[in-house]
Amino acid sequence: MNRRLRTLLFASILLLFGMPVLGAETIPANLTGQYGFDWLNLKKFKCTPITESTRSLFKSCKYSGPGATGSFSGKTDFTTCRVSEKSEYMIYKTKARCDEELEIMRANE
């Protein structure tokens, strides 16, 4: 199985099992200054700060807190924000946490 297909398959499974336990849809203001990456867009696999400009692109966001699933490391306390059918950011409070999740995702490709 090629890398892109494996990544998309993993993303689909993650969404399937992670979505039912995520919180209500909102676009929190406190995301600005946190770090994230567009995990559905292979060209943007890099942790970057969330700016107001980036935040304005989000159509909906869901917070994953205690007891939730869906991160690559299995840890909770992150937010997913959908931009479009082909773009969704996973957002973490620190760059170190973002880098950790991105590294695990890449290792599973």
Q: In what order do the strands lie in the sheet with 87-92?
A: 48-49, 35-38, 87-92, 78-84, 60-64
The DSSP string of 12-39 is HHHHHHHGGGS---B--GGGTT-EEEET
What's the pLDDT at 77? 87
Closest CA to 22 of 83, 67, 85, 53: 67
| pLDDT tens across the length of the chain (109 residues) | 555 545 544 554 444 444 444 444 568 888 999 999 999 987 767 899 999 999 999 999 999 887 777 778 878 889 999 999 999 999 999 999 999 999 998 888 7
